[in-house]
Amino acid sequence: MTTTTVRDVSVFGDAMAYFEEAASLLNLELGIRALLTHPSRQIIFAIPFQRDNGSLEVYTGYRVQYNFARGPAKGGIRYHPGVTLDEVTALAFWMTWKCAVVDLPFGGAKGGVTCDPGNLSPGELERITRRYAAELVEVVGPDKDVPAPDVGTTPQIMAWFMDTYSMHMRTSVPGVVTGKPVEIGGSAGRVEATGRGVSLLAFEEMRHLGIAPGDARVVVQGFGNVGSVAAKMFAAGGCKVIGISDISGGYVNRNGIDVAGATAYAQEHHSLKGYRGGEHVSNEDLLEVECDVLVPAALEKVLTVENAERIRAKLIVEAANGPTTPEADHILQRKGTVIVPDIIGNAGGVIVSYFEWVQDRQGYFWRESEVNERLEDLLLTNFRRVREVALARKVPYRTAAYVVAIERVVRSMKMRGVYA
């Protein structure tokens, strides 16, 4: 059994390290660098709310709007005890490049509340959400900033947010958030979009590397919405999923996991704990299982300098945000591991969020097959552009993805100029 430790560098510090590698290749002037490394707006506010027992508590809410050069800000809202300004700023920074690399007309944003949703009743969650939304009424909206679900938030929470904003506006504004239930302006295919995008990119790169799906062994760390959907898509595409995991640990079966059975088990038991379809291992050891494709779909910083040498995957598709530290990234690149980075690896969700925003503004909704077809076209078109840049500049996909994204944002900034 192995353990990993992570050096004490902020999440934003990791994000900035990747940015600086790409920015150096582009020889950005100092003024542009300064603009790109400072968020446009950081908002911190108190969220007082009443518990079901009548007692009052106060949580802290955040919203960081990083960049508006390409359009309204876009990014999720997370409810988690570990939410900090540093984390939210890093995620807003990442969203700027994620939207740009897949050519969406959005800037980057992120928000959150420092709370544990698992210890809150539905009524308490609703009261927190409505107060959070009310505090942001002046700075969000379909043409300003469009939130979405993230860790610890759900379509129901988006529905409460939308309703609160609409009540303040005195008109229904479904386009203020994405990730809503379909019944009130959500998009078909949104729930599966991130996991679907992960598998689309994996199959695309497997073709490029000459890995046949029928010969491919896949490990998916994290069996939440993204990981379970990706595993399902891999299995449907003919791959052998040999490892899955959640908070209870990893489960390895070299003859192949029954993904449909594991999904049903997790839904029934709210966890994979006790699952007998594979040998139980730690989450850390699962990452080191020899495979063709590894999908980190859980937490940030799981691939580190301590375990990078022991990672035996040919291809890594990052479904989580920031799963690989810069030091680990350099080790894996030196070993020849191909990495599809998070800013495009998990961009399927924001692409279909964009489609939802478009449909809300049109008042006309697409069939799921149409959503999936458009997702595949937009995601793979932009990934192939990243590959072209990687091959032309002889750099890894991560650097190429940032190069593509930064160039697009800088072009927009220069066309618009600076209002001063």
Q: What band does 4 get if pLDDT is binned at 50, 70 and 90?
A: very low
For 324-358, write each residue's pLDDT tens digit: 999 999 999 999 999 999 999 999 999 999 999 99
Q: Mean pLDDT, the chain, as a whole number?
A: 93
Q: Do domains 39-184 and 193-345 have the same CATH topology?
A: yes
Region 281-290: mean pLDDT is: 94
Is residue 371 within 8 Å of residue 188, measured between CB atoms?
Answer: yes
Q: Which of 401, 292, 377, 344 is nearest to 25 (CA)?
A: 401
Measure the CA–CA gap between 395 and 141, rounded to whole angstroms. 38
Dihedral angle sign, alpha carbons of residues 351, 357, 361, 365: positive
- Residues 6 or more apart whose CB falls under 8 angstroms from that of 325 comprise 6, 7, 9, 14, 301, 303, 304, 305
Domain 39-184 fold is Rossmann fold (3.40.50)
Give pLDDT, residue 10.
64
For 192-224, write each residue's pLDDT tens digit: 999 999 999 999 999 999 999 999 999 999 998
Q: Which of 179, 221, 215 is nearest to 198 (CA)?
A: 221
Specify which residues 149 forms β-bridges with: 77
Domain borders along the chain are 39-184, 193-345
Give pLDDT, residue 11.
64
For 49-58, write each residue's pLDDT tens digit: 999 999 999 9
Q: With a cut of 80, say whether residue 1 has pLDDT above it.
A: no
- Residues 6 or more apart whose CB falls under 8 angstroms from that of 70 comprise 99, 100, 104, 105, 106, 107, 408, 409, 412
Region 4-24: mean pLDDT is: 70
CATH 3.40.50.620 for the 193-345 domain, yes or no: no
Long-range contacts of 180-187 (CB under 8 A, 24+ apart): 180/155, 180/356, 181/155, 181/156, 184/159, 185/356, 185/359, 185/360, 186/155, 186/158, 186/356, 187/352, 187/353, 187/355, 187/356, 187/359, 187/365, 187/366, 187/371
Catalytic residue numbers read 110
Amino acid in position 358 = V
Measure the CA–CA gap between 135 and 44, rounded to whole angstroms. 10
Dihedral angle sign, alpha carbons of residues 201, 300, 145, 418: negative
For 246-282, write each residue's pLDDT tens digit: 999 999 999 999 999 999 999 999 999 999 999 999 9
Count H helices, E strands: the chain?
14, 12
Supply the Cα-derived Rg of the chain in whole angstroms. Answer: 21
Specify which residues 60 forms β-bridges with: 46
- Joined tokens for residue 39: 């968020």
Dihedral angle sign, alpha carbons of residues 202, 206, 211, 212: positive
Measure the CA–CA gap between 115 and 118, rounded to whole angstroms. 9
For 88-146, write each residue's pLDDT tens digit: 998 899 999 999 999 999 999 999 999 999 999 999 999 999 999 999 999 999 999 99
Give pLDDT, residue 301.
87
